[in-house]
A and B are shown apart, each in its own frame.
Chain A
Amino acid sequence: MIKIKDLQHHFKIGKKGNERHVPVLKGVTLEVGKGEIVAILGKSGSGKSTLLHILAGFMSPETGSVMVNGQETAALKESEQASFRLENFGFIFQNFQLMPGLSAFENIELPLKIKGMAEAERKMKVQKLLEKVGLEEVASHYPNELSGGQQQRVSIARALITDAPIILADEPTGSLDSETEKEILLLIQSLNKKLGLTFVIITHDEEVAAVADRQYHLHDGELVKGEQRHAV
C-alpha cells in the first residue's frame, strides 16, 4: 500500500549566502501493508513530521520515492496531489485543525463538499458516521464548545468520511489527557479492525506507539525497527 524507498531530505539553516544544510532523513525505506497500523516514534526534531509531510504530499523529497497504491506521489502536479489526498488519505492532527466557523457536523461534511457530493447523500453519510464515533449529541456544536476528546473524534470522523484507505495521524493524542488518549487509541484500534484501515501514526509517545502492529524509531534521520504490538 505504501512503499517509501531511500528517502533523503535536508533543511537549509541560516541566512542566505551563509546557509548550512542539515540532513533530516537519511535514506528512509519503509513499507506499510493494507490494514496495518505503523507507528513512527522519534524525539522532537528527529524528522518524523517531515516524513509524514512527504508521505502526504505536503512537500517533495530531494531523493528517493514514495509510492502509494502504486502511484509515485512526487510525480503528481499540485492539483493532482490534492485529488490524490482526497481519495487516499485521511488526516488526524495533534491540534485537531477543525474549522472554527463550522459545527462538528459541518467539519465532518467538509471533505465531502470539496469532493462535490450531493447534499442528501453526504448528510446521510455524516449522520451515520456521527453515530459510529459517538458524536450525535454534539453534532451542532462548534469546536470551541467541544472538549479536546470530542474535537479529536470530530477530526477522526472527518478523516474517515471520504472512505480513504490510509489515515495519517500526527501526534493524534498530543493535546489530550491520558484518559481521553486511551479512548482515542481504542477508537483507532477499533476502526482498524472493523474497517481494515491503514494507519501511519507519528508520535513521540511510547504508549501511543504501542497500538501499532509495527513500530519504527527515527533516530538521526534513520529509521530503526522497534517493538511489535501489545495491548493498550
Chain B
Amino acid sequence: MQFKDQIDFIRQHMKRNKLRVATTILAATMGCAFLIVLASVGFGLHQTITDDVLDNNMVTQIEVAGKSDGEAEIPPADIPDAELQQIKEMAHVIAVVERNKPEAETEIVIGNRSTYSQVVLSSMEEEQKAGFALSEGKMPTKAEEVVVGYHMAERLLTEAEMEKEANGEEVDGFAGSLIGQTVEVELTPFTAEGGEAVESSTWEFVVTGVAKEPAKDWMTDAGIYADSSWGPIFNEEMGLEKGYENILVYADELQNVGGITDALKEDEYYVYSVTEELGTMNVFFTALKAGLIFVGTIAVLIASIGIFNTMTMAVTERTREIGVMKAIGAQPKLIRKLFLMESAAIGLIGTALAVAISYGISILANWLVPIIILSSLGEEDAGGISIVISTIPWQLVVIASAISIGVAMVSGWRPARKATQIDIIQALRQEM
C-alpha cells in the first residue's frame, strides 16, 4: 500500500471515531504540554541565572591566580615573563593584562578635594587590547599620565562635603571635567595594627582620560590607572614588597574562553573564568531539567493509557474489517503499520498542539509572573535583572516530541500486534 493511501486509510478511521480520537488527542496534548511547560521553567531559570552571571562578568576574561610547578605554588607576580608571553601567543588570546596594586593606602587629591582610592598599575597598551575604553579623553602616552575611574569626580569631596555625606546629605563632588587636571596621589604603606607609623609619599599625575561607565548601575569605579612602570618606583621609594599581581587573560570571543581555560589548566595554571562558574551551574541545571523532564514524562505516560485504550477499542471494533483485509491479501505487517501510524498520528497531533499551547503559556508566564513577583515585593523593577520564568528552546521541543510520539507508538504497539494476530475465520464470522 502506498504511503499516501495509508495516510488516507487512517484519516478515514480517525474521522469515523471523531469524539474518541479527539479526547485521546486532548489527553496527549495535555501530557506533552505539561512536560514542555514544566521543563521550560528549568530552562527559563537557567537562562535567568546565566544571563545574570554573564552580565556581571567580563565574559571573555580569564583570571590567572598563579601556577603550580609540581611542588609549590607560584603566585601571579612570580610567573616569568616568558611564560606570560607564551599565553599571549595562544590562539584566540587577544591580551594578557598584569594589574598590580601597591600595598599602600591611596589618597587622591585635587585642590581642596580628596578621596580614598586604589592605584591600578597596568600596561595601558594591553588594557586597550583587552577592551579598556574611555568615556572621555584619551589613553596616556607618557608615564606621568593616568586614567581615572568613571566615578572618580563624584567621589572627590571637600571636607565640608564629607561631613554632609556623613550626615546622609547628598553631595555632588567635583564639577566639570577631570581631563587635564593634575592629581596628587598620596601612598601610605599598610602597617600592622599597633606597628610603627610610616611616612607617606606623594606623586603627581595628569589625567588624560576617564574610564567608561561600568556595565552595572551598582558598580563603582573610582580607581586611578597608571602605567605599570610605576610599580618598582613606588616599591623602592616606600620600601614595599612586590604587591599582589592580578593576571587577566582576554579571549577574542566567549565561545573560546572554555578552550583557553582548559589549555591553561593543562599547563598547571590556577585559572578562573566565567565558564568555570557556568560549568558548575550547568551541572546543577542539567540535573534540574532532567528531573523536570522525568516528572513531565509521567504525565505523558498517563496520557498514553488513553491512547492504549483507544487503540485497543479500535482493534476490537474493527476486527471484522481487519479480517476482510487479511483475507483479500493485506500483509500482517501492513495491518500493524496502519495501527501504529494511527497511534503515532494521535501522538503527533497531540504534540503539535502541545508545542503551540506551551509557547503560549510560556509567553504568558514570562509576562505575568514577574509582575506578580515584583508587586508582591513592592518593587517597580527587578534591579536590572530580566526575569525569565520559562524558555522553550528547540532542544526541549525535540526531546518532548520524541518522548510524546515515542510513548504514543509504544502504547499502540500491543493493540497493533493484536490486530495482526486476528484470526480471519473468526473475524469474518462477526456480525456487521
Contacts and interface: CB of A to CB of B under 8 A. Distances in A.
B327 A79 contact: no
A153 interface: no
B16 A101 contact: yes
Interface string A140-152: 0000000000000
Contacts of B129: none
B321 A99 contact: yes
A114 B9 CA distance: 11
Nearest to B6: A113
A139 interface: no
A29 to B, nearest CB: 23
A105 to B, nearest CB: 13
Nearest to B2: A116
A114 B5 CA distance: 9
Interface string A98-123: 01111000000011011110110000
B324 interface: yes
A97 B320 contact: yes
A114 B2 contact: no
Looking at A58, A59, A93, A158, the one whose CB has the most chain B CB atoms below 10 A away is A58
Contact of A53 (B5, B12, B321, B425): B425
Nearest to B9: A113
For chain A, give the interface size range.
Answer: 20 to 34
B12 A114 contact: no
A227 interface: no
B332 interface: yes
Q: Chain B: interface secondary structure?
A: helix
Contacts of A206: none
A162 to B, nearest CB: 8
Given A53-B425, A102-B12, A116-B2, A97 B324 contact: yes
A53 B432 CA distance: 20
B325 interface: yes
A82 B2 contact: no
Given A99-B324, A113-B1, A82 B13 contact: no
Nearest to B334: A114
A118 B331 CA distance: 18
Contact of B1 (A53, A85, A99, A114): A114
A71 interface: no
B428 interface: yes
Interface string A58-96: 110000000000000000001100110111010101010
Contact of B331 (A58, A59, A82, A91): A82
B428 A93 contact: yes
A56 B331 contact: no
A116 B334 CA distance: 11
B333 interface: yes
Given A53-B425, A78-B332, A114 B16 contact: no
A110 B2 contact: no
B384 interface: no
Interface in B313-368: 320-321, 324-334
B424 interface: yes
A28 B425 CA distance: 20
Contact of A85 (B12, B16, B327): B327
A56 B327 contact: yes
A159 to B, nearest CB: 8
Interface string B284-325: 000000000000000000000000000000000000110011
Given A58-B424, A99-B321, A82 B432 contact: no
Contact of B328 (A59, A78, A95, A110): A110
A116 B328 contact: no
18 contacts: A53-B424, A53-B425, A56-B327, A58-B327, A58-B424, A59-B425, A78-B332, A79-B331, A83-B331, A89-B329, A91-B327, A95-B428, A99-B321, A100-B321, A101-B13, A110-B325, A113-B2, A119-B4
Task: List 8 tightest A-B contacts by C-beta distance, closest first.
Answer: A86-B329, A58-B424, A113-B5, A85-B329, A97-B324, A82-B331, A114-B330, A79-B331
Interface of B: 1-2, 4-5, 9, 12-13, 16, 320-321, 324-334, 424-425, 428, 432
